[in-house]
Homo-oligomer: A and B are copies of this chain.
Amino acid sequence: LISKIGLIGCGTVGSGLLELLEKRADYIAGKYGVSFRLLFTTDAAKGTAFSKDGLNPRALLEILEKGGSIDASPKNTPNDLASLLEEAKPDIICEAAPTNYKTGEPGMGIITATLARGVNVVTCSKGALALDMAGLKGLAASKGVSLRFESSVMSGTPLISLVRGPMAGCEISKAEGILNGTTNFILTKMESGMDYSEALAEATRLGYAEADPTGDVEGFDAAVKVCILSAEFFGTPMRLEDVRRTGITGVTSEDIKRAAAGGGRIKLIAGVKKEGDSVTGYVSPETVGLDNPLASAPGATNAINITTDNLGVVTITGPGAGKMETAQGLLSDMLNVARGQL
């Protein structure tokens, strides 16, 4: 089975996907019977490459590593999305552009235009999903195509597709856990003796935190994921401002020590729960006991407790961030679209 794909956005995550497409092609073909053919890749800053015969991921990576433009195609190569979709007729668009929580762009425009043309979409763009998952899912359904977004929450650690497939038949009443790697890294460093500002500096130095860390440390990133989970698990749209939100900037070393003395750990807990017809979302630092699986998720690890009717609590723990980890989430979605999975 050959699956024709287009990649939009070749920053960190997009490059990770190109690496997987190159290094894991034989494994994927052997194990899943799927060969991905990359027809185009386009990036707002780095240009557009297009080939009907398929692009070579390694050649693209070499250009990207040198910081060059991938715009190496003939003059008449289409470089707007509509023309690319028209010319390439891809089976799947993989959308990995940076995301804006307020506008949902550029993901919103890209995903909408792609679904509208009847093309499957795999995306990690939190912003668009948090803003209007119902609209995007409705569009996908009306066109009979898939919209998948495993890597939008907990990077490639399965959560969305875990609940859709392997947990089918379970009704979820609550899902709460550690959904932001940066703050969990900072809190873990504080347990080993750093104060908040030292731990934040370390997170910035290692690339976990951005120059402006507000989105992570004030809990916005976790809250966006709560909006996604509310829409996905309960079919209930939730606006970012409706998530009760406290970040970690007020957590002190004394708080960390007090929690440890009581046999616990402070974690930034993000969750969504349904009680009757009411769905609420929340993000706040909480002390969790060591018997809670969330306690044993260190550093950039994420973990979530999923409370169900038939299985009690199921917990999944795994990476919450990272180039290859997020790319793996896109890859699993692409494989599942190619294989006709829900």
Q: For the complex, count residues of A whose C-beta is within 8 A of B.
A: 51
Copies of the chain in the assembly = 2
A310 cross-chain contacts in B, Cβ below 8 A: 20, 24, 156, 324-325, 327-328, 331
Tell me if B20 and A169 are in contact (CB < 8 A).
yes
Cβ-defined contact, B318 with A170, below 8 A: no
Take A20-B310, A162-B166, A290-B296 as given contacts and tell me if A27 and B171 are in contact as well, using a CB distance cutoff of 8 Å. yes
Q: Which residue of B lies closest to A171 (CB)?
A: B27
B315 close to A311 (CB less than 8 A): no
Q: Cβ of A297 < 8 Å from any Cβ of B?
A: yes
How many whole Å from A165's CB to the nearest CB in chain B? 5
Q: Does A215 contact B (CB under 8 A)?
A: no
In whole angstroms, what is the CA distance A317 to B315 when docked? 5
Binding site for B on A (CB under 8 A): 20, 24, 27-28, 31-32, 150, 156-158, 160-162, 165-171, 290-293, 295-298, 303, 310-319, 324-325, 327-328, 331-332, 335-336, 339-342
Sample of 14 A–B contacts (CB below 8 Å): A32-B168, A32-B169, A158-B162, A158-B166, A161-B165, A165-B341, A169-B335, A290-B290, A293-B303, A293-B315, A314-B317, A314-B318, A315-B318, A340-B340
